[in-house]
Amino acid sequence: MEVLLNVIKNIFCVNEFQDKCNKCSLCHLIDLNNLPSLRIIEPDGQFIKKDQILELKHLFSKDSLYTKESIYIIKNAERMNKDSANTMLKFLEEPTSDVIGFFITNEKDNVMLTIQSRCQIIEVDFENDDNETLNLTNDEYNYYLDLTKTYLENIEIEKKKLILYNKEYLSDLDKDKITIILKIMLKKYQELLEAKVKNKTLTGDFTFLNKLSYNNVKGKLDLLIECLKEITYNVNLELFLDKFVLKVDEINNEII
């Protein structure tokens, strides 16, 4: 999603776009998820519903005010149900020159073939770029990897008093360092989810996570994605971390 938003900024930026552009109002509005001509559709519960696609079509029947084209993103495109997929297909079959659409999925084969046939498919592999993405040296990355492993062991295995554990373990870390830990957590849960889809298990230092169910991991991935959005704003780190571990505990209690 972060990469795709940068692509959209690159297309529409009123200046010569550079990473983390903060000079133009358009890029700033995209960062705030507040650009009127950009709509992001994601599952409402388990599925993306027909009404969400109909609402999108209605909104895009009007001229875009902020950018030459209106832009939409369909997250988890594989989770369109039959009705919403057929409605989206009709939308794609009646293209206009003033709309650009993007579909994001980790399960391309579960997207309706007739929708796939009307898209330009770009496959992106983020497998071995952790250090580069986080702008860390190998030593720095290993340091944060160890921090993340210890933290996850204690909240997933030891099940320590989580709020107290935050204060013992993360109280000296600033926002940037906590963001790195959250991103590494996200990566490890993504690897675990992919392994479960393929009926495999994690190897290496994070094998203790293998006991988690598919739905448990999915719930934590959704939580981490939301947390990584939230931490970009001016948050109270102590309250933010307490909220995170309470949500982890809630997921563990609801989904074994």
pLDDT, averaged across the chain = 84
Residues 6+ apart with CB under 8 A from 115: 77, 85, 88, 89, 92, 103
Question: Which residue do the tokens 């046939």 mark?
Answer: 117
Token digits for 15?
């200046």
Domain 36-116 in this protein, CATH class? alpha beta
Residue type, 250: E
> CA-based angle 193:211:201, to the nearest 5?
50
**In the chain, % of residues over pLDDT 90:** 32
Question: What is the distance, to the nearest Å, from the Cα of residue 95 to the centroid of all Cα atoms in its chain?
Answer: 28
Token digits for 115?
């929708």
pLDDT tens across 105-118, in order? 988 888 999 999 99
Token digits for 254?
């609801």
Q: Domain residue spans in the chain?
A: 36-116, 130-254
Residue 132 pLDDT exceeds 60: no
Residues 6+ apart with CB under 8 A from 131: 137, 138, 141
Largest CA distance in the chain: 57
pLDDT tens across 55-68, in order? 998 888 776 667 78
245 burial via Cβ count (<10 Å: 0-12, 13-18, 19+):
buried
Q: Given pLDDT bands bounded at 50, 70 and 90, which one contains residue 160?
A: low
- What's the predicted TM-score (pTM) here? 0.51
Rg (CA), the chain: 20
pLDDT tens across 35-61, in order? 888 999 999 888 999 999 999 988 887
Token digits for 17?
């776009």
pLDDT tens across 196-247, in order? 877 888 888 899 999 999 889 989 999 999 999 889 888 888 888 888 888 8
Beta strands in the chain (DSSP E): 38-41, 70-74, 99-103
d(CA 194, CA 177): 26
d(CA 134, CA 148): 14
3-state secondary structure of 65: coil
Nearest Cα residue to 225 out of 72, 33, 52? 33
Encode 151-216 in three state secondary structure: HHHHHHHHCCCHHHHHHHHCCCCCHHHHHHHHHHHHHHHHHHHHHHHCCCCCCHHHHHHHHCCHHH
